[in-house]
């Protein structure tokens, strides 16, 4: 996997202080290269990436803009989403109960989202918070604007049983209907969401196992 990385990717791996983070980065970028190479008929190590002003990676312009992707890591999981001809964003978060989710929601989420969360307690509160977070992050990543897109500028669904979705957007309220959101089932320790432009698409999932992580470092 490491052999397929470019010099700048290897340099980035070398900057991680925790071995587990370095391994996750190698595996994430390595598998991304394998999947993209397979999709466009090139060897993994041949691929070149570009980065925009917000740090969003994309395939170099010489490959065209048809194939889009998004990557997310958390805990022992790496999610890679590929899409043809449409923007895509994916996010996974390990559900952590040692953080003040009410405070985070009040600071970063929209008023409507914070109010919905304020009515919840116990495990459901954390589940809903991370459902909200991953749906918002997936949208931010699909838009490619990083932290420059204010998280309280749009609203997602978050309650258990509520259909995953982008409920409201500002300043253009019609933007919300241009995206479809899915909640991904990646086990009870994580929440994950995928968003892609348009409604007429279908998700196909593959789980690749065998890459080992250690959280102890």
Ligand X SMILES: CC(C)(COP(=O)(O)OP(=O)(O)OC[C@H]1O[C@@H](n2cnc3c(N)ncnc32)[C@H](O)[C@@H]1OP(=O)(O)O)[C@@H](O)C(=O)NCCC(=O)NCCS
- Residues in contact with ligand X by the rule CB under 6 A: 25, 28-29, 54-57, 70-73, 91, 104, 108, 133, 137, 140-141, 144, 146-147, 151
CA–CA distance, 106 with 137 (Å, rounded to integer): 16
User: How many residues are recorded in the chain?
Assistant: 217
CB of 199 to ligand X, least distance (A): 22
CA–CA distance, 2 with 185 (Å, rounded to integer): 29
Residue 87 or 180: the one with the smaller Cβ distance to ligand X is 87
Residue 57 or 162: the one with the smaller Cβ distance to ligand X is 57
CA–CA distance, 20 with 135 (Å, rounded to integer): 26
CB of 188 to ligand X, least distance (A): 19
Burial 121-158 (b: 16+ CB within 10 A, else e): eeeebbbbbbbbbbbbbbbbbbbbeeeeeebbebbbbb
């Amino acid at each position: 996997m490491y052999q397929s990385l470019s010099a700048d990717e290897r340099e980035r791996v070398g900057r991680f202080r925790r071995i587990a983070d370095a391994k996750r980065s190698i595996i994430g970028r390595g598998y991304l290269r394998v999947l993209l190479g397979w999709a466009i008929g090139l060897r993994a190590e041949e691929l070149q990436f570009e980065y925009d002003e917000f740090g969003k990676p994309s395939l170099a312009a010489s490959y065209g803009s048809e194939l889009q992707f998004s990557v997310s890591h958390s805990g022992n999981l790496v999610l890679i989403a590929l899409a043809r001809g449409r923007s895509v964003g994916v996010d996974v978060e390990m559900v952590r109960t040692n953080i003040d989710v009410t405070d985070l929601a009040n600071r970063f989420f929209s008023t409507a989202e914070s109010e919905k969360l304020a009515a919840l307690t116990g495990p459901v509160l954390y589940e809903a918070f991370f459902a909200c977070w991953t749906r918002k992050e997936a949208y931010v990543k699909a838009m490619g604007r990083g932290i420059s897109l204010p998280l309280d500028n749009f609203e997602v669904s978050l309650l258990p049983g509520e259909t995953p979705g982008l409920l409201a957007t500002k300043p253009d309220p019609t933007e919300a209907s241009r995206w479809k959101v899915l909640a991904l089932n990646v086990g009870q320790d994580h929440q994950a969401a995928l968003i892609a432009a348009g409604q007429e698409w279908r998700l196909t999932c593959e789980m690749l196992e065998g890459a080992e992580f250690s959280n102890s470092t």
